[in-house]
Structure 1
């Protein structure tokens, strides 16, 4: 029971210390921290952290060579400096630009997909591959593909159908990216 009573007494003393420090030096600390930070809310955070450090180091308040207020102001200044340095150590935050496309984090999957598709295209006959290249990669219509390759439009349709069937069999009805 004595341990419990001494703990409560210590807590009451700690609370009284912080309360008296704030009553005596709080306005000066807030004014000083506001001047340093330019922001009242940030200044209040600095004062709170300063008082926590005073609570953790009560000996520094009693044994310091200067005044208690001088020690508190120095601690507050050091906290502000530490926060500024921490912000400078981080890369600057940049707001997203409206209309800009997001960057792709990792393009390894698309590279692998491209390699798999190219390998699959190589397995097709030259005639089937030529039709798919014109229709899908060069985005030509059936008529344009027929004219470019010098074959009838019906042959373009037939070759593209058979080439796609061969690719589907090769991929086992999966899409190249594995999403299907």
Structure 2
């Protein structure tokens, strides 16, 4: 007689075999063809099914409905979380700024503009821009040093750049 664990494993194997392919296609449609996201969400749906294998509906049809409902909610949560995140900003190109070899008036004015705008920023914004762009520290290291999440460092960087641009605006 099989153990309870073996019964659960057999049930989950059957659920995966019966529904994984259709579930993936369903999620692929909801994610506009984003394969990697669809694979991740299919895996997460199956992981949730495994965690609730004892509570899965008894029939294949009801189980499929349960899986598709979980998958749809995961897609919705993924879309919402992406909208809530601030847009990541690439490295600011400051190669046009003075390098010490060019004494033209335009370069001097550009350098003065950046330095003046930078001086108007709060200390927190100045520190984060120095760490990220001038020192080139990875955001993970900055987050560890400050004791904050990586997302906080990215958010602070975003708002510091926004403040710098505003300070440089004519």
* TM-score (normalised: structure 2): 0.49
Report which of the two structures shows the higher radius of gyration computed on alpha carbons: 1
Structure-1-length-normalised TM-score: 0.46
